[in-house]
Amino acid sequence: MLPPSTRRQDLKEVIAVFLKMGFTAFGGPAAHIAMFHDEVVVRRKWLDDQGFLDLLGATNLIPGPNSTEMAIHIGFLRAGWAGLVLGGACFILPAMVMVMALAWVYVRFGATPQVEWLLYGVKPVVIAIILQALWVLGRKATKGSLTALVGLGALGLYFIQVSPLVVLLVGGLIVTALKNIMLLKKPNIRSWIPFLGGLGIPLLTTIPFSYWLLFWTFFKIGAVLYGSGYVLLAFLQADFINKLGWLTNQQLLDAVAIGQVTPGPVLATATFIGYLLGGVPGGLLATVGIFLPSFILVALSSRLIPRIRNSPYSSSFLDGVNAASLGLMAAVTWELGRATFIDPFSVVIGLTAAVLLFRFKVNSTWLILGGAAAGLLRSVV
């Protein structure tokens, strides 16, 4: 066992590293993980390459945001249980504070022409960023005709308003069954109807707001969210717009746009929505709700990594879930795009951002700032 003084020093290093990452890690999960590798493998030698890849594989096999779970895993390996908590919390905290401040500005000034035009320019860039993530992740996740068909099936199920949770589970089970040559009993779709209605079918009336329901909804999302953080959009659409009636499509798109302006986890979008619905308490509850499952799952899985990564069943299930996740991402991107590209100028912004992303690999942070500038320019010409 390490002496207390060494353990305290390790904990201080974990806090310092992940606070710095929380303030500077722009660009989404893939960029975050690359920065983590440089910081903890190349520079600090906390892990070797194989150990880092083992952790990355483990985060892919459990729900939740990959980069946040990497911070939690690394904190645990470096400084024990205190490192597990503080590593993740320090990575999340800067994004939460910044998004909360932007949410306050949005609530206070969101109806002013200046803010509307700023978001007008940012939203087409957000769509381009999501499309790039969809393209990159799709090439990795589509491992043959089976996963491609699962992705297309998920796309179709979304448009008939089946719950994203059900879509992910069914996609994972189908690929697991077929890849491992298992015979499954044909599902009884009629028996699923009450379950589907409880998880995602739109209701005819708006459910009254409550802090408990806000927390539980985000906790449920954090506990089942596989794939890129952008899959969050499908869950937010199903729960907060279709089921609860607490948000509009426009507010969801604004939340995503503002979440893109800040570094750190993409899931900090939950902070914005929580503040929008319930002020500071709502923002805090939403943040805790969506990230808490990641801490629990990392704590439970940290000792099981060797077994998880070598199981053909968990590997096949993950393939199916990832393919379904991409189908959901594509469906939500289509809906958000229809609300974003409202005139030729917004189309030009989106196409320009796409070319800069796909062809010239420009950092998404600069594109977001450029989109904001274009929107403000549009407001004065």
More confident position, 37 or 188: 37
More confident position, 369 or 381: 369
- On whether the CB atoms of residues 359 and 114 are closer than 8 A, the answer is no
Q: Find the domain containing 293 and state its range.
A: 4-380
Model pLDDT, residue 197? 39
Q: Work out the pLDDT band at 194, boundaries 50, 70, 90.
A: very low
For 282-297, letters b (16+ CB in 10 Å) and e give bbbbbbbbbbbbbbeb
CA atoms of 179 and 182, how far apart (whole Å): 8
What confidence tens digit (pLDDT) does each residue in 326-366 have? 888 788 778 778 888 989 999 999 999 999 988 888 877 68
- On whether the CB atoms of residues 123 and 54 are closer than 8 A, the answer is no
196 pLDDT exceeds 80?
no
311 pLDDT exceeds 70?
yes
Q: How many domains does the chain have?
A: 1
CA atoms of 54 and 372, how far apart (whole Å): 39
CA atoms of 135 and 121, how far apart (whole Å): 22
- On whether the CB atoms of residues 145 and 373 are closer than 8 A, the answer is no
Q: Work out the pLDDT band at 212, boundaries 50, 70, 90.
A: very high
- On whether the CB atoms of residues 297 and 69 are closer than 8 A, the answer is yes
- Output the six-digit token pair for 256: 């995503």
Q: What are phi and psi of 33, to 5 degrees?
A: -65, -40
